[in-house]
Amino acid sequence: MKKILVTGGAGMIGSNLVKRLVNEGNEVFIIDNLWRGKIEYLNDETGKPVIPLESHFFNLDLLEQGIADEIISKVEYVIHLADIVAGIDYVFNNQGSIFRQNLLINSNVITSVRKFTNSIKGFIYVGTACSFPLTRQNSLDVIPLREEELYPALPESAYGWSKLMGQYETELLEKETGIPISILMFHNVYGSPCDFGERSQVIPALIRKAITYPDEPFHVWGSGEQGRAFIHVDDIVNALCLALEKGLGHGVIQIGPSVCTSIKEIAEQVIEISGKKIEAFYDKSKPEGDKARSADFSKAKAILDWEPKVTLKDGLNAQYNWIKKQMENKKD
């Protein structure tokens, strides 16, 4: 049994990870300020929380320095998922705020971990493919990204810069304290439970629009040609558990598929799942972000024995059904 802290543990990734870790017999603590996460995401099939909330869940704001010290003093491993991120509209309209908040969140957590060098056995930091240089993501001719291409650094967004700075400070943590680290750079994660409101990311936003159509128009931001390497949350949880087992001490590892899927393809699949006759409108006045990207996951395969397993078709069907159920429950 390991004693593990998961920051951001009530979010989409965090709640799925916590359930997996608890199921494997670990004692799990959570810090989450519930900006996007929800307490009910931590419930099992019977509706009961998978951890004792009164002693293992902490509604705290990691922007406050030292606030995690007491909890980190009780654990052996820290998996740091917490950050400020949302859909592309939010990211590009709040760049200064996102950059500052993520810098503080990451630095505060890492500083707290430093205080317990003798008791912390491993630190996992979650980065993002948004930290790769814009020059490697500004063409539709996609060559899978490799970890060694991170520098010279030129992320497109403040979000990508803030996460890259967190990676750098994580590397300093290992170098200066000897605490073994693992940095997993996630590509575009989707799945449930998730936010499907105004701050949601592309897949849940399109699913919501398909479900509500024609009351809500099916507008797709950008040309639809822009693409991403979409990865299901179940595959992400597998990667995190494998990193805890054998990824510590191996630095940066990319987690994502080698296939780049266009937003137009996603929109078309969502329409097909809906069974409706939906006319998609591509709003080219809206931001697209990076043109396209995919992952060379050979390092993940070699070190973690990881590769994507959930097909996009199965993942989209599952997420569509989950969001539809949530929306029906709200009406009731």
The answer to whether residue 135 scores a pLDDT higher than 90 is yes
Predicted pLDDT at 290? 84
Task: Kindly report the pTM of this predicted structure.
Answer: 0.95
* Average pLDDT over the chain, rounded to an integer: 96
The answer to whether residue 252 scores a pLDDT higher than 90 is yes
277 burial class (0-12, 13-18, 19+ CB within 10 angstroms)?
Answer: exposed
pLDDT in tens, 136-184: 998 888 999 999 999 999 999 999 999 999 999 999 999 999 999 999 9
Average pLDDT over residues 271-278: 97
Predicted pLDDT at 104? 98
User: pLDDT band at 248, cuts 50/70/90?
Assistant: very high
Q: What percent of the chain has pLDDT over 70?
A: 100
Q: What percent of the chain has pLDDT over 90?
A: 90
CATH of the domain spanning 3-191+229-258+294-310? 3.40.50.720
CB 10, CB 30: distance < 8 Å: yes
- Tokens of residue 270, six digits: 């969502």
pLDDT in tens, 177-236: 999 999 999 999 999 999 898 778 899 999 999 999 999 999 999 999 999 999 999 999
Residue, of 329 and 114, whose pLDDT is higher? 114
The answer to whether residue 263 scores a pLDDT higher than 80 is yes
Predicted pLDDT at 22? 98
Helical axes 263-274 vs 202-212, angle rounded to 10°: 30
User: pLDDT band at 88, cuts 50/70/90?
Assistant: confident
**29 vs 19, 50, 65, CA distance in Å?**
12, 11, 19
